[in-house]
Chains A and B, each alone.
Chain A
Amino acid sequence: MKHRYLPMTETDKKEMLETIGVNSIDELFSDIPERVRFKGEYNIKPKKTETALMKELTLLAQKNADLRSHTSFLGAGVYDHYMPVIVDHVLSRSEFYTAYTPYQPEISQGELQAIFEFQSMICELTGMDVANSSMYDGGTALAEAAMLSAGQTRRKKVLISNAVHPEAKEVVKTYAKGQYIEVIEIPHKDGITDTAVLKDMINDEIAAVIVQYPNFFGRIEPLKELEEIIHAQKSLFVVSSNPLSLGALTPPGKLGADIVAGDAQPFGIPTAFGGPHCGYFAVTNKLMRKVPGRLVGQTVDEEGRRGFVLTLQAREQHIRRDKATSNICSNQALNALAASVAMTALGKKGVKEMAISNIQKAHYAKEALKARGFEIAFEGPSFNEFVVKLHAPVKEVNKKLLEKGIIGGYDLGRDYSDLKNHMLIAVTELRTKEEIDAFVNEMGDYHA
């Protein structure tokens, strides 16, 4: 057969078979026992030409209500943000996206330096000493944090606030099962981790306490207060954080966090139906050699020229096998590159301006809904999300909104049995005053 990805001609094939000393390609598969040999071809769809396939998939994509043709107030861990156009132009440089892990530093300096810059930017935002080259996503990054903590403290229990993203929490629990770590939830009180209950729960058997900042309800957790309670028992303080919020909020590193993990999706990474996004993982110097995944470090060549290499590899699976700090190998390098370009474009001033714009616009929406008669659950300072009570199921309200081209907020009743008819609303810098006003208008009389 002829195919644009398969360059061998019949003449090539003939010459090659001669060199090998066989008569047919089939002979090369003679080592596959007859009993397991697959005969014929797969029963799958026939191939399509470039044009026909693009047409088919264009139509398939159009069956979805996407965020470009709709106005979204949905967040809950994945956000519709400003993506500088330049990000995709950099990402489309195929020297980056068609390369693999930079194991040969002499011809991978571009990737290595880009990742070194990513690590530096994550450290700046989180206020931590060391950041790795990326994890799969925020959820698995948090699970790795729990496992690191158990290993470091030699304790087998982890406390996690139930104001942490519910799906991230589930992932932590799955990983914990593998490691025989017990995960216990700390309740929230009025949308904030209940510190009084935490004080009762914590003891010297607790490896780590995991909270989210801003938390799943959009509220700003009192990290300072939590830190004192947690460190009094020598437990590790793990903070899951939306890095965009750290353009405006005090970084967890300044408030005593030992590990800060989360997802860099808000920086230049499309929502993409949930992935690929970009987990990040940052720690204090003390935990540097326990970090999962790849780390890029600076060094020099024989002539004293600066260069970058994968370093501290004695932590990793390809060297340590069953003694590695984690099994992660492939990570989310290309998404880390996207996040780097977005953080670079925003820069020192833009990241703050964007974070504050989120606070302002969410606040405006919150006040507008209140004026309309809506009650805010968990009233108090928040970042770009807040919770409203409805008198109807969220699913039903969202169905009405969708008819108007609006993607409504998240149904908290899915995860919290006491929060039926509660909608988590996200308002980013992308929403205009006009869109917010229209949304409030369409929310109409659904207030409780």
Chain B
Amino acid sequence: MHKDDQALIFEISKPGRIGYSLPEMDVPEIDVNELIPAGYLREEEPELPEVSELDIMRHYTALSNRNHGVDSGFYPLGSCTMKYNPKINENVARYPGFAHLHPLQDESSVQGALELMYDLQEHLIEITGMDQVTLQPAAGAHGEWTALMMVRAFHEANGDFKRTKVLIPDSAHGTNPASATVAGFETITVKSGENGLVDLDDLRRVVGEDTAALMLTNPNTLGLFEEDILEMAEIVHAAGGKLYYDGANLNAVMSKARPGDMGFDLVHLNLHKTFTGPHGGGGPGSGPVGVKADLIPFLPKPVLVKQGDQYVLDYDRPQSIGRVKPYYGNFGINVRAYTYIRTMGPDGLKAVTEYAVLNANYMMRRLQESYDLPFDRHCKHEFVLSGKRQKKLGVRTLDIAKRLLDFGYHPPTIYFPLNVEECIMIEPTETESKETLDAFCDAMIQIAKEAEENPEIVQEAPHNTVIGRLDETLAARKPVLRYQKQ
């Protein structure tokens, strides 16, 4: 062990210590060998830690100090919408009437929870311009797959079994092709043009009677609004396909353009992004799916409906694709999203998008002298730079990202989308102040100068993090994926 190593919880374990206070065993005890069949009673105890409560708190406090969140500092991770996570959300999600409900209780005893879910659905229907919403999918990718399963069920219900292909632009998130594959489709890539937008000619070339759907993010992952969206919708619909909206970038268009009005038939949202989930270190998320009327019969079951003044879970859905998740979705995240929407109101959500877009454009203009700007036009909530000028000086985008760590920032998304060389993708969000944006831009400009004058300082970054660059090759070649007692 290196002297600076942070101990694993297992390494501070000591036999004889405990960290729990279990309820009394107040029923007569029976020899457990009489209750469990021979061979099924565990012989070796699991090697879990033996530590006191203070040991636990110090351990996890030390770990949290080795972690950067939005509350620690600026986190302009493109496509991830790392906005402030309101504290009221955390309080509300912990109300006993929400946190400690069993999903299989009688419906009459959970009307408050169902009412919240129903009202959230209603709000999301208005926000997306769709006709119905399901809250069942647990995350964005889960929502994508759910929607594509519905597309398949829709075509098959029409006796149309030849639609085996899903069209996906080259700038799309990796989850799009992966979700299409899991839903049983073949994926076809649609090229982007010089202007960063979907090439309509290429779309016309690949679309056909085997097209099940086109998956699209709008604005796309370059932060650009697909201006030809109505033409694209026409092309896909004329061929009999469906149009699917990846809601990862919804923060860019709230109150400005609704997927339902752009011609989309299905949409998923990332409630942990636009609607302040929070991100939780990688999850849990929530990925509701909205659909137009002709797809409603295929929604996963149960579907939450209102009958008179009662909220009812409807299981009688003969054309449903089935269940995509036990119970009704990540309710706890949905409570947070609902709280957020109710905190913002219609004027608030509009302002969210306006400031998110103002902030991104401001940063783009402040940085356009120091870095290559591949698409010189108004961006939406995020924008991409290219580090190809710095690359010629021997400084890679990865180095720039690592140098930003020295300034206390989480770096932007890098090397994505794949169609921009040495890509740097910046999404500031609306919750950051001008001072924060300016300080970050100053750091980026300084790094660009360093790349010219003193490249080593960038190439060798980070200099003041708790750990240096890690050997990822070693991690993959000789995987150590768990602690084992020596």
B-contacting 9-mer, from A105-113, A197-205, A226-234, A369-377: A105-113
Q: Does B349 have its Cβ within 8 Å of any Cβ on chain A? A: yes
Cα-based distance from A218 to B105 in the complex (angstroms): 19
From A94, A101, A110, contact of B63 by CB (8 A):
A110
Kindly list chain A residues whose C-beta atoms are within 8 Å of the C-beta of B18. 347, 349-350
Cα-based distance from A271 to B62 in the complex (angstroms): 28
Kindly list chain A residues whose C-beta atoms are within 8 Å of the C-beta of B104. 74, 76, 78, 410
Cα-based distance from A110 to B67 in the complex (angstroms): 5
A-contacting 9-mer, from B1-9, B236-244, B288-296: B1-9
Q: Is the CB of A364 within 8 A of B42?
A: no
Within 8 A of A (CB), among B269-292: 270, 272, 278-285
In the complex formed, the residue of B with least CB distance to A357 is: B25
Cα-based distance from A65 to B352 in the complex (angstroms): 36
Contact with B along A315-334 (1 / 0, CB 8 A): 01111111110111111111
Q: Does B177 have its Cβ within 8 Å of any Cβ on chain A? A: yes
Closest chain-A Cβ to B93's Cβ sits at a distance in Å of 8
In the complex formed, the residue of B with least CB distance to A59 is: B112
Kindly list chain A residues whose C-beta atoms are within 8 Å of the C-beta of B103. 78, 271, 273-275
A-B contacts, 13 listed (Cβ < 8 Å):
A5-B86, A13-B358, A20-B358, A32-B257, A37-B256, A47-B346, A102-B282, A113-B6, A248-B41, A318-B174, A329-B139, A330-B283, A352-B42
Given A178-B145, A324-B181, check contact A19 B365 (CB 8 Å): yes
Q: Does A257 have its Cβ within 8 Å of any Cβ on chain B? A: no
From A15, A53, A96, A301, contact of B470 by CB (8 A):
A301
Given A327-B175, A357-B22, check contact A272 B323 (CB 8 Å): no
Within 8 A of B (CB), among A405-447: 407, 410, 429-430, 432-434, 436
Given A86-B56, A273-B98, check contact A15 B434 (CB 8 Å): yes
Cα-based distance from A352 to B8 in the complex (angstroms): 22
Cα-based distance from A256 to B346 in the complex (angstroms): 57
Q: Is the CB of A364 within 8 A of B281?
A: no
Kindly list chain B residues whose C-beta atoms are within 8 Å of the C-beta of A178. 145, 149, 152, 182-184
Q: Is the CB of A77 within 8 A of B326?
A: yes
* Most B C-beta atoms less than 10 A away, residue of A8, A33, A47, A111: A8
Q: Is the CB of A311 within 8 A of B65?
A: no
Cα-based distance from A304 to B474 in the complex (angstroms): 12
6 closest A-B pairs by CB: A274-B327, A47-B345, A61-B97, A274-B103, A63-B112, A110-B67
Cα-based distance from A333 to B104 in the complex (angstroms): 25
From B99, B352, B355, contact of A272 by CB (8 A):
B99
Q: Is the CB of A53 within 8 A of B256?
A: no
Kindly list chain A residues whose C-beta atoms are within 8 Å of the C-beta of B201. none
Q: Is the CB of B256 within 8 A of A38?
A: yes
Q: Is the CB of A36 within 8 A of B366?
A: no
From A16, A37, A305, contact of B4 by CB (8 A):
A305
Kindly list chain B residues whose C-beta atoms are within 8 Å of the C-beta of A94. 69-71, 85
Q: Does B361 have its Cβ within 8 Å of any Cβ on chain A? A: yes
Cα-based distance from A439 to B155 in the complex (angstroms): 51
Cα-based distance from A274 to B328 in the complex (angstroms): 7
Kindly list chain A residues whose C-beta atoms are within 8 Å of the C-beta of B183. 178
Contact with B along A72-116 (1 / 0, CB 8 A): 101011101010101011101111111111111111111101101
A-contacting 9-mer, from B45-53, B206-214, B384-392, B447-455: B45-53
Given A25-B354, A33-B227, A334-B283, check contact A407 B109 (CB 8 Å): yes
Q: Does A286 have its Cβ within 8 Å of any Cβ on chain B? A: no
Within 8 A of A (CB), among B17-53: 17-30, 32, 35-37, 39-43, 45-51, 53
Given A3-B348, A95-B67, A96-B281, check contact A29 B227 (CB 8 Å): no
Given A110-B65, A124-B46, A330-B285, check contact A25 B60 (CB 8 Å): no
Closest chain-B Cβ to A242's Cβ sits at a distance in Å of 14
Q: Is the CB of A95 within 8 A of B60?
A: no
Q: Is the CB of B60 within 8 A of A38?
A: no
Contact with B along A38-63 (1 / 0, CB 8 A): 10111111111010011011101111
Q: Is the CB of A174 within 8 A of B177?
A: no
Kindly list chain A residues whose C-beta atoms are within 8 Å of the C-beta of B371. none
Within 8 A of B (CB), among A220-263: 220, 222-224, 246-251
Q: Is the CB of A62 within 8 A of B85?
A: no
Cα-based distance from A199 to B116 in the complex (angstroms): 48
Kindly list chain A residues whose C-beta atoms are within 8 Å of the C-beta of B22. 82, 350, 353-354, 357, 429
Q: Does B329 have its Cβ within 8 Å of any Cβ on chain A? A: yes
Closest chain-A Cβ to B142's Cβ sits at a distance in Å of 6
Contact with B along A283-306 (1 / 0, CB 8 A): 000001000001111111111111
Kindly list chain A residues whose C-beta atoms are within 8 Å of the C-beta of B111. 63-64
Q: Is the CB of A44 within 8 A of B40?
A: no
Q: Is the CB of A130 within 8 A of B357?
A: no
Q: Does B222 have its Cβ within 8 Å of any Cβ on chain A? A: no
Given A94-B69, A328-B141, A429-B23, check contact A54 B88 (CB 8 Å): yes
Q: Is the CB of B138 within 8 A of A92?
A: no
Sample of 18 more A-B contacts, CB < 8 Å, known A25-B357, A347-B49, A357-B23:
A6-B430, A35-B230, A53-B339, A89-B57, A94-B85, A100-B282, A273-B332, A288-B479, A295-B479, A298-B480, A300-B474, A305-B4, A306-B5, A330-B270, A337-B281, A345-B56, A347-B13, A363-B35
Q: Is the CB of B19 within 8 A of A345?
A: yes
Kindly list chain B residues whose C-beta atoms are within 8 Å of the C-beta of A274. 103, 326-329, 331
Contact with B along A116-154 (1 / 0, CB 8 A): 110111011100011101101111100000010000000
Given A5-B431, A273-B101, check contact A42 B126 (CB 8 Å): yes
Q: Is the CB of A57 within 8 A of B141?
A: no
Cα-based distance from A306 to B285 in the complex (angstroms): 30
Kindly list chain A residues whose C-beta atoms are within 8 Å of the C-beta of B115. 60, 63
Cα-based distance from A433 to B25 in the complex (angstroms): 9
Q: Is the CB of A224 within 8 A of B39?
A: yes
Cα-based distance from A301 to B278 in the complex (angstroms): 30
Contact with B along A11-37 (1 / 0, CB 8 A): 011011101111001011111110111
* Most B C-beta atoms less than 10 A away, residue of A41, A147, A429: A41
From B184, B284, B411, contact of A275 by CB (8 A):
B284
Kindly list chain A residues whose C-beta atoms are within 8 Å of the C-beta of B106. 395, 398-399, 402
Q: Is the CB of A68 within 8 A of B96?
A: yes
Cα-based distance from A174 to B471 in the complex (angstroms): 40
Q: Is the CB of A95 within 8 A of B345?
A: no
Closest chain-A Cβ to B321's Cβ sits at a distance in Å of 6
Within 8 A of B (CB), among A329-351: 329-335, 337, 341, 343-351
Kindly list chain B residues whose C-beta atoms are within 8 Å of the C-beta of A329. 139-141, 174-175
Given A68-B100, A312-B476, check contact A136 B225 (CB 8 Å): no
Kindly list chain A residues whose C-beta atoms are within 8 Å of the C-beta of B112. 60-64
From A250, A333, A398, A402, contact of B283 by CB (8 A):
A333
Q: Is the CB of B96 within 8 A of A69?
A: yes
Given A109-B467, A136-B325, check contact A7 B432 (CB 8 Å): yes
Cα-based distance from A50 to B89 in the complex (angstroms): 10
Q: Is the CB of B60 within 8 A of A341?
A: yes
In the complex formed, the residue of A with least CB distance to B408 is: A107
Q: Does A170 have its Cβ within 8 Å of any Cβ on chain B? A: yes
Given A45-B123, A296-B481, check contact A113 B8 (CB 8 Å): yes
Cα-based distance from A309 to B77 in the complex (angstroms): 18
Q: Does A191 have its Cβ within 8 Å of any Cβ on chain B? A: no
Q: Is the CB of B102 within 8 A of A31?
A: no
Q: Does A194 have its Cβ within 8 Å of any Cβ on chain B? A: no
Kindly list chain B residues whose C-beta atoms are within 8 Å of the C-beta of A402. 106, 109
From A95, A249, A303, A308, contact of B2 by CB (8 A):
A303
